[in-house]
Homo-oligomer: A and B are copies of this chain.
Amino acid sequence: MRLFSYWRSTTSYRVRIALHLKGLAFETVPVNLVAGEQRDAAYLSTNPIGGVPALDLGDGQILTQSMAILDYLDAAYPDPALLPADPLQAARIKAAAMVVACDIHPVNNLKVVGQLKALGHSQEDAVAWMNDWMTRGFTAYQALLPEGTAFSFGDTPTLADLCLVPQLYNAHRWGCDLTPFSRLTDIEARCLALPAFDAARPETQPDAG
């Protein structure tokens, strides 16, 4: 498999964790978002939305959208599972994952920040914007968790943790005040102590700058 990825992209980071958790070998194909490579015509034929990640399954089949890729990997390589078999419990975990995937990340990514700057806003405005959405989202995420679990939903990481940890990476990067979210940073520390999460960290990717 080949993963079209950018080291700091939180959606790429989600998929890297899943690939490592499931023990799947992959080659990283860097797409430099800051240099605009995601808008090259050749890349748009790989992923028409012009973003990362995209996963080449090795037989010419390319999958896009991190949440769709994660579901595919979980169905095709079920061990270890990212979601439980019970649909109701799976829906609770997905809801927390979707708080990150739909309510935090899309309003915070590079293209939205670029659009804010095109509208005349400063870097400080952009950072305040990002941290506001992260604070709202982390508040909701924390409220959705059961009491007293080591990871977001139990004793092992799930799809929710795969979304949470990359978003917390971004939160640290942009100086979001995480004081009210010690439950989440505790979970983050437990995740990052696992080899699969550690191997997926942005700083150790081949395109880290």
Contact = CB atoms under 8 A, between A and B. Distances in A.
Contact of A143 (B48, B57, B63, B107): B48
Contact of A102 (B63, B67, B129): B67
B88 A144 contact: no
Contact of A144 (B48, B102, B125): B48
A64 B145 CA distance: 13
Contacts of A129: 115, 119
Contacts of A65: 94-95, 98-99, 102
Contact of A103 (B49, B69, B71, B139): B49
A101 interface: yes
B61 A88 contact: yes
A88 B144 CA distance: 30
Interface string A108-137: 000010010001010001000100100011
Contacts of A61: 88
A95 B63 contact: yes
Interface residues of A, number: 45
Secondary structure at the A interface, as helix, strand, loop or mixed, is: helix
Contacts of A105: 102
A106 interface: yes
A144 B64 contact: yes
A193 interface: no
Contacts of A50: 136, 140
A189 interface: no
Contact of A72 (B87, B101, B119): B87
B102 A112 contact: no
Given A63-B92, A125-B119, A143-B48, A76 B87 contact: yes
Interface string A46-67: 0011110000010001011101
A68 interface: yes
A133 B166 CA distance: 24
A168 interface: no
A79 to B, nearest CB: 15
